[in-house]
Amino acid sequence: MDEEDPLAEYRSKRDFSKTPEPEGGRSGSLEKPIFVIQKHDASNLHYDFRLEIEGVLKSWAVPKGPSTDPSTKRLAVPTEDHALEYRDFEGVIPEGEYGAGTVMVWDYGTYRNLRAEKRDSEARKDMTESLNDGKVEVWLEGNKLEGGYVLIRTGSGENARWLLIKMKDEKAEPERDILEEEPASVMTGKSLEEISQSVNQ
């Protein structure tokens, strides 16, 4: 693996002459870091949760998607870093290509690193430290998801698992099924089916 290029793995998995996904350059960071959640109808439907950290999108595949209920823990499987330009990618990855299937921008917004805001300077962590530490705490300001979310690594080695959990705060909504209630693209209002049809026409 090329350690100089954080997107080496991302690029090695894709043939950019065949997929409409962005190849990714080295674009500068925006003022506030962004997050995006892409609903991805690949061999298994899942939600890709991505956080902008140091110029790339750190990514986890969440098979059951995010929840607004703090008592619900959702498995989040780390995947390769994606290019920042991927944040507004919506379309169809062709058959035979890596991740083949329809991609929707399900939610989009900015986030704050809650661990950087701790009063105790010993407890303060930047996002990279939080990742290495296995505990990421962010306040999402999305169109759909809002409030505190924690990504936590449990176990170690081969048994390591990440979980995505809504924090207990005023934005928690234990009774709500946001995936059912708001299934469409935040960017275009389209359903997965409409995205796939608009490309295949």
Counting contacts by CB under 5 A, is residue 82 touching Mn ion? Answer: no
User: Looking at beta carbons only, is 40 or 125 nearer to Mn ion?
Assistant: 40
User: Looking at beta carbons only, is 78 or 141 nearer to Mn ion?
Assistant: 78
Query: In one letter, which amino acid is 34?
Result: I
Counting contacts by CB under 5 A, is residue 115 touching Mn ion? Answer: no
In the bound state, the residue with its beta carbon closest to Mn ion is 40
The only residue of 39, 40, 50, 74 in contact with Mn ion, by rule CB under 5 A: 40
- The site for Mn ion, by CB under 5 A, has a size of 2
Select from 40-48, 121-129, 152-160, 190-198 the region that touches Mn ion (CB under 5 A).
40-48
User: Looking at beta carbons only, is 56 or 70 nearer to Mn ion?
Assistant: 56
Residue 166, C-beta contacts closer than 8 angstroms, at least 6 positions apart = 66, 67, 68, 69, 70, 72, 147, 148, 149, 172
Counting contacts by CB under 5 A, is residue 81 touching Mn ion? Answer: no
Select from 47-55, 68-76, 107-115, 186-194 the region that touches Mn ion (CB under 5 A).
47-55
User: Looking at beta carbons only, is 40 or 87 nearer to Mn ion?
Assistant: 40
Minimum CB distance to Mn ion, residue 101 (Å): 8
Minimum CB distance to Mn ion, residue 42 (Å): 6
Minimum CB distance to Mn ion, residue 182 (Å): 19
Select from 3-11, 20-28, 36-44, 148-156 the region that touches Mn ion (CB under 5 A).
36-44
User: Looking at beta carbons only, is 40 or 58 nearer to Mn ion?
Assistant: 40
Ordered DSSP codes for the chain: --TT-TTHHHHHT--TTT--S-----PPPPSS-EEEEEEEESSSEEEEEEEEETTEEEEEEETT---S-TT-EEEEEEEEEEEGGGGG--EEEPTTSTT-EEEEEEEEEEEEEGGGG-SSGGG---HHHHHHHTEEEEEEEESS-EEEEEEEEES-GGG-EEEEEE-SSTT--TT--HHHH--S-TTT---HHHHHHHHH-
Sign of torsion over alpha carbons 70, 164, 147, 187: negative
Q: Which residues would be at the binding site for Mn ion (CB under 5 A)?
A: 40, 48
